[in-house]
């Protein structure tokens, strides 16, 4: 028998680490049953339990029924649960959904939001390299080259540092990084309009939505690259 995924999702929403971890361990315990595919089991826990919980969080966040502290606690619980799933998921040698470099732009020292985004992306199968606050375009670019990332997340929490998102994107363009990587922008003062104005590939208003956007962007990019390859 498998665990109650709804209960696990709710434990994530409630920020109840004890319950969530116990359920994940119970769920993985079942895999000792040789009839069950270990990997499929872990994936089900991830998708129905953890990501299910995060979907609820996203919904509540949009209605502002939950606030930053609660989202952070939930993200931490999810992260804790992921520690148990990761060895199995990684052992399967399945490639990550995408490789993402995230950080807060130069001039901006705020990183609560982007840390949540990082945790959420990790929880959704991305390989995440969080380079932290006050990161120059060069620092982003170096990390992208080093990791072969196909996704860049630029966060700005101040009205005055939003222009640095534009500067960073320009720099990536000049460096030719945008042939193989998409850029998404976010942060409290950032709007969809701004995201379009600075030629980013996408904007998400909150951490949970970012996950959907990230998947979309890497899929689009893969398709685009595939077409390029096909025409060559």
Interacting residue with another protein among 12, 23, 66, 183 (CB under 8 A): 66
Task: State how far the Cα of 209 lies from the Cα of 5, in Å rounded to an integer.
Answer: 21
Nearer to another protein, 125 or 203 (CB): 203
Interacting residue with another protein among 21, 22, 39, 60 (CB under 8 A): 60
Residues 83-102 binding another protein (CB under 8 A) are none
Interacting residue with another protein among 36, 40, 91, 109 (CB under 8 A): 109
Minimum Å distance from CB 126 to another protein?
23
Structural element, H or E, at residue 88: helix 68-91
Task: State how far the Cα of 139 lies from the Cα of 147, in Å rounded to an integer.
Answer: 12
226 scored as a contact of another protein (CB under 8 A): no
R_g (Cα) of the chain, nearest Å: 18
* Gap between the terminal Cα atoms of the chain: 51
Stretch that binds another protein, among 39-47, 109-117, 118-126, 137-145 (CB under 8 A): 109-117
Take residue 117 and report the two structure tokens written for it.
């985004």
Task: State how far the Cα of 193 lies from the Cα of 182, in Å rounded to an integer.
Answer: 18
Minimum Å distance from CB 65 to another protein?
5
Interacting residue with another protein among 130, 150, 155, 161 (CB under 8 A): 161
Residues 166-225 binding another protein (CB under 8 A) are 189, 191-194
Asked if 153 and 126 touch (Cβ cutoff 8 Å), the reply is: no
Nearer to another protein, 108 or 201 (CB): 108
Task: State how far the Cα of 17 lies from the Cα of 97, in Å rounded to an integer.
Answer: 26
18 scored as a contact of another protein (CB under 8 A): no
Take residue 159 and report the two structure tokens written for it.
């009205």
Interacting residue with another protein among 39, 88, 89, 158 (CB under 8 A): 158
Task: State how far the Cα of 44 lies from the Cα of 2, in Å rounded to an integer.
Answer: 10
What are the residues binding another protein (CB under 8 A)? 10, 13-15, 60, 62-70, 72, 106-110, 112, 134, 158-164, 189, 191-194
């Amino acid at each position: 028998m498998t665990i109650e995924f709804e209960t696990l999702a709710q434990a994530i929403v409630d920020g109840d680490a004890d319950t969530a971890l116990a359920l994940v361990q119970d769920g993985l315990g079942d895999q000792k049953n040789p009839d069950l595919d270990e990997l499929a089991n872990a994936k089900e826990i991830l998708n129905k339990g953890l990501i299910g919980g995060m979907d609820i969080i996203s919904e509540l966040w949009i209605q502002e029924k939950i606030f930053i502290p609660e989202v952070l606690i939930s993200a931490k619980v999810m992260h804790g649960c992921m520690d148990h799933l990761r060895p199995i998921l990684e052992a399967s040698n399945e490639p990550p959904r995408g490789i993402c470099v995230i950080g807060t732009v130069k001039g901006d020292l705020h990183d609560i939001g982007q840390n949540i985004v990082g945790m959420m992306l990790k929880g959704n199968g991305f390989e995440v390299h969080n380079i932290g606050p006050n990161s120059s375009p060069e620092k982003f670019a170096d990390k992208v080259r080093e990791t072969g990332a196909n996704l860049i997340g630029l966060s700005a929490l101040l009205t005055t540092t939003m222009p640095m998102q534009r500067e960073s994107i320009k720099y990536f363009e000049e460096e030719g990084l945008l042939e193989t990587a998409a850029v998404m922008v976010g942060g409290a003062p950032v709007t969809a309009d701004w995201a379009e104005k600075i030629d980013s590939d996408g904007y998400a208003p909150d951490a949970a939505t970012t996950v959907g956007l990230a998947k979309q962007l890497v899929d689009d990019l893969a398709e685009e690259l595939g077409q390029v390859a096909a025409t060559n």
